[in-house]
Structure 1
């Protein structure tokens, strides 16, 4: 599968998930946005973003809950709704990184186990091709997974990814390129097993 094919496959899979997770309700543009509005409209999408990063639903929900708690603590400092959503997205990425660091530390002291906790309904909703992409994402290094998930699931630009992940735009480009190559290899290996 050529690299452009891997990119199209990732874009199709994560774009499909993004469309499924699009907020059903929007807030009234004339009314001030409340924390409750943001929670109701954006919570599930942020949970799915975290699931793609940490590969565990309960942990992802904890990460998102912490992001909203942090937003609540900093509510008075925010400029507008867009700043609040950016804050939440960055908090979810940073919280996911912390989870992965803690997991790595724990694995150094405890033998690793091969449990991947995806919900049955989340996998049932995906086609075989989409499942292969999500499984391959799980074997990528955290930063590569972050960049691909933020780009293709989050629908973010390179600048937005750089801001959310705390890296430069050039690093976003090179990481995305390496991630697509690694994803292509992982999918090819999975097909041959």
Structure 2
């Protein structure tokens, strides 16, 4: 079973690492202070991809990110530096995605469930079949497991940063990642 878990971890790491590399091959934060406009240009697409991986709908992801930047604008004067702004954005995107998923769940209780694949053809066409299988399996995981795996392997965050972004303890992050990788392994049939 430990070998299976490592296989799922390698698949997730390859897929989300591939997406991360496509999004920002060298997104370094400059030493000089950034303006909100600079931050928007540098981080917007990365935050949209993060939201897409969490909510599985490009239009909704755009809305979540726009709300995150609006919140950042309102709180801009209270931030310490650009790294704090990026952390604020990441947390706002995760929380906004959670809200979207809660609203979807509530809406499904009142309407018959239906399956739609909201991913754009372009985004899936850029991925190999193995990568596509990983993205599909991620979409089937419980919210917290998906969040932790996406933040770890796409966001390239440490356990402490994930704990901060999601509002859970580091131990919960570690156990959630482990359970998520096991669930992915089962979903992918490896």
Normalised by the length of structure 2, the TM-score is 0.96
Change (3 A) 1:120 1:166: same
Q: Equivalents in 1 of 2:35, 2:139: separation in Å?
A: 35
Q: Residue 3 in 1 paired to residue 21 in 2? A: no
Moved over 3 A (4+): 23-28
Deviation at 1:27, TM superposition (A): 5.9
Deviation at 1:24, TM superposition (A): 5.7
Deviation at 1:28, TM superposition (A): 4.5
Query: Relative contact order (alpha carbons < 8 A, sep ≥ 6): 1 or 2 greater?
Result: 2
Q: Which runs of 5+ in 1 are unaligned?
A: none
Aligned length: 188
1:90 equivalent in structure 2: 91
Deviation at 1:2, TM superposition (A): 1.1
Query: Conserved in 1, the CA contact under 8 Å of 2:29 and 2:82?
Result: no
1:124 equivalent in structure 2: 125
Change (3 A) 1:136 1:25: closer
Query: Conserved in 1, the CA contact under 8 Å of 2:144 and 2:176?
Result: yes
1:18 equivalent in structure 2: 20
Query: Conserved in 2, the CA contact under 8 Å of 1:23 and 1:45?
Result: no
SS at match of 1:138: helix
Q: Equivalents in 2 of 1:65, 1:23: separation in Å?
A: 23
Deviation at 1:116, TM superposition (A): 1.7
Q: Residue 39 in 1 paired to residue 40 in 2? A: yes
Deviation at 1:25, TM superposition (A): 6.1
SS at match of 2:140: coil
Q: Equivalents in 2 of 1:25, 1:148: separation in Å?
A: 21
Q: Equivalents in 2 of 1:104, 1:118: separation in Å?
A: 19
Normalised by the length of structure 1, the TM-score is 0.94
Q: Equivalents in 2 of 1:76, 1:99: separation in Å?
A: 28
1:146 equivalent in structure 2: 147
Give the 5 Å matches for 1:24-173: 28-30=30-32, 32-173=33-174
SS at match of 2:88: helix
Deviation at 1:29, TM superposition (A): 2.5
Change (3 A) 1:27 1:145: closer
RMSD: 1.3
